[in-house]
Amino acid sequence: MTYAVDPVARLRIMAAAIPGARVVETLLPAPFETVWAVMSDLEGEFGRFQPDMRSVRVLRVTGDRVEALARSKYGPRAHFRGVLRPGWCWLQSRFLIIGMAATPEPGGGTRIALTGGVRVPGRGAIVPFGAKSELEQAACRLKERLS
């Protein structure tokens, strides 16, 4: 028997496998297509709602695989590789993880989930300090952007 798992549930599952990972979820009062157009615009909109990101430059897209360079507002750069498809984004660099998911809600609106943070070198873990507040801030900025 198989079960369908929506992108938000998949993000919860992925984050549950990473020690220290936090997930922030919220319901946005906008259609999925509108929400995902903003969330998946890595070079444009992503840096506007993600508090610690200054810029992202997509280097390569092959199907749903993406490679990008990102610069934090604190200075460090990261070379990400991952997957970007409707409702799902999972990007990893040597030291960072970014996860975003969105799914339409049956009663209207779009449920989103965000996770991410600094990876512990040599371990499959995320440093939890400050991660939840940054994720909450990103969700708030996204909600404001879509209002």
Structural domain of residue 129, as residue ranges?
7-146
Check which CATH number belongs to the domain holding 22 and give it: 3.30.530.20
SS3 at position 17: coil
- Residue 128 is predicted with a pLDDT of 63
- Residue 72 is predicted with a pLDDT of 81
90 or 134, which is more confident:
90
Number of domains, the chain: 1
Tell me the whole-structure pTM to 2 decimals.
Answer: 0.90
Report yes or no on 2 lying in a domain: no
For the chain, give the percent of residues with pLDDT over 70: 93
* Contacts by residues 81-88 (CB-CB < 8 Å, ≥ 24 positions apart): 84/40, 84/42, 86/36, 86/40, 87/6, 87/7, 87/32, 87/36, 88/7, 88/10, 88/11
Report yes or no on 1 lying in a domain: no
pLDDT digits (tens, 9 = 90+) for 4-24: 899 999 999 999 888 888 899
- Average pLDDT in the chain: 90
